Amino acid sequence: MIVLPVRLAELLDQVDGTRAATLALDFAEHAVDLESEPLAERMRAATVEYVAAARAAIALGRADDRLVRAHASHAAAARQTPGHSEITLLHDSAVRLACQDMLIEAGAMNRAGRTMLTCRYVARTAQSEVGGRSARRAAAGTDPRKADRAARWEEARWQLHHVIATEPNPHD
């Protein structure tokens, strides 16, 4: 049997820099896209802008005003919107992986709050969020642990496929 989460972890241990940042953002977005109950409008808008601003900053190579504003807006929305802590933390982790040094340099984040994150961590966190949500919503008579494991597996399968599908051809 191929253990997809293990293969995924092996691949993610080999990515870094911009590729790792982009994949982390992709994983966080996908986990939220699977949310069957919509996020509160303010939280969804803040999350979408935060990720878009992070992607723009990656392309620019530095934090701009948009990223700084999106960082503050996302934090404020997270504090004022109950019930979305896992999603908030997932996106915060993905953007920190992608743009933490940029935000520190721009003065929007304190160096003392710096965390060491990996793309593998964001992938596992997204799997956990998807699995936990599936377990909470399992139909009556369904073992929530089985629902959790199945959803984690499917998320790892999607992530593995995404890594392979977006891997640039080194010969181009």
The reply to whether 171 falls in a domain is no
117: in domain: yes
pLDDT in the model for residue 58: 96
Structural domain for 70, as ranges: 4-166
CA-CA distance, 74 to 48, in Å (whole number)? 9
Residue 121 lies in a domain: yes
Q: Is 112 exposed, middle or buried (0-12, 13-18, 19+ CB in 10 A)?
A: exposed
Would you tell me how many other CB atoms lie within 10 Å of the CB of residue 113?
A: 10
**Assigned domain for 143 exists:** yes
Task: Kindly state whether residue 160 falls inside one of the protein's structural domains.
Answer: yes
Residues in CB range of 28: below 8 A, 6 or more apart: 51, 90, 91, 93, 94, 122, 126
Query: Does residue 126 contact residue 28 with C-beta atoms inside 8 Å?
Result: yes
80, part of any domain? yes
Q: Whole-model pTM above 0.85? A: yes
46 domain-assigned: yes
In angstroms, the CA 89 to CA 16 distance is 21
Whether residue 172 is contained in a domain is answered as no
Q: Which two tokens mark 92?
A: 């915060």
Each residue's pLDDT expressed in tens, for the chain with a length of 172 residues: 677 888 899 999 999 899 999 999 999 999 887 765 667 888 888 988 999 999 999 999 999 999 999 999 999 998 888 777 777 888 899 999 999 999 999 999 998 888 999 999 999 999 998 998 888 888 888 898 999 999 999 999 999 999 999 998 888 8
Torsion sign over Cα 51, 56, 62, 67: negative
Q: How many domains does the chain have?
A: 1
Half-sphere exposure of 112 (CA within 13 A, CB side): 0
